């Protein structure tokens, strides 16, 4: 008996349908990355685990973070396309990200800086404010620091994403910023490399969000009038 295989064309709007599942896969990928990174760095005595860890660390790496940044830009385009008041938009992000961090971060940095590291109060404030990530390569909570910056600039990125030429210029400038820091400000680049290299993914996510929303609008019209 022969079975006929049917292929369904991929459309960018499909990302909006499975965005939650993609976020879940990205989170699992990040967990696996840190898990295998540990066995790779300590050179696990079990050869099979070491080989798998080495392969995952070098071949797959932290791609889950890239996907997460992309999906964040994608989702924020949908949010901003509803034309919310900027005050309401920012307040929602503060409630979701900043307030939970302030609570968790206070506990973490207090124990880390005062109990274990014996740091000064000024150093604690730099860590707790996440400014230390941008100036001294303190990577704890770096993602919170970076995503907060992305939330702040997202209305501007939304403006870029709504025009093909502006978007292209934005992507070129983001890569230009990476190269500029790499060649002329290496100390800065090494501090924020983990975040800086992911800026283009956020811009691309925003642009794909626009395309996806357009495709959803067209499909909804066809269903309504067809």
- What is the distance between the alpha carbons of residues 194 and 171, in angstroms, rounded to a whole number? 18
On whether residue 197 sits in a domain, the answer given is yes
In a domain, 66, yes or no: yes
Position 130 in a domain: yes
Provide the pLDDT for residue 226.
56
Residue 32 inside a domain? The answer is: no
Would 47 be classed as within a structural domain?
no
pLDDT at 167: 97
pLDDT at site 8: 52
* Residue 160 in this model has a pLDDT that exceeds 80: yes
Any domain includes 3: no
What is the number of domains present in the chain?
1
Domain that holds residue 73: 62-215
Q: Tell me how far apart the alpha carbons of residues 170 and 73 are, in angstroms, rounded to a whole number.
A: 14
pTM attached to this predicted model: 0.89
Task: Tell whether 203 is covered by a domain.
Answer: yes
Q: Is the pLDDT confidence value at 211 over 90?
A: yes
Classify residue 154 as exposed, middle or buried by CB count within 10 Å of its CB (0-12, 13-18, 19+).
Answer: buried
């Amino acid at each position: 008996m022969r079975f006929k295989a049917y292929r369904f064309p991929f459309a960018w709007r499909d990302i909006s349908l499975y965005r939650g599942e993609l976020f879940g896969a990205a989170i699992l990928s990040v967990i696996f990355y840190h898990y295998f990174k540990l066995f790779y760095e300590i050179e696990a005595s079990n050869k099979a685990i070491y080989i798998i860890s080495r392969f995952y660390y070098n071949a797959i790496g932290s791609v889950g973070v890239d996907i997460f940044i992309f999906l964040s830009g994608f989702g924020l385009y949908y949010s901003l396309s509803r034309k919310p008041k900027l005050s309401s938009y920012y307040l929602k992000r503060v409630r979701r990200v900043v307030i939970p961090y302030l609570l968790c971060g206070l506990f973490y940095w207090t124990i880390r800086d005062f109990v274990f590291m014996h740091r000064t109060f000024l150093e604690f404030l730099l860590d707790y404010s996440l400014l230390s990530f941008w100036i001294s390569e303190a990577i704890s909570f770096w993602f919170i620091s970076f995503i907060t910056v992305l939330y702040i600039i997202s209305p501007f990125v939304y403006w870029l994403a709504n025009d093909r030429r502006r978007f292209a210029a934005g992507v070129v400038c983001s890569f230009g910023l990476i190269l500029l820091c790499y060649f002329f400000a290496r100390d800065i680049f090494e501090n924020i490399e983990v975040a800086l290299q992911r800026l283009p993914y956020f811009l691309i996510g925003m642009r794909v969000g626009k395309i996806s929303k357009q495709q959803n609008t067209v499909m909804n019209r066809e269903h309504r009038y067809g």
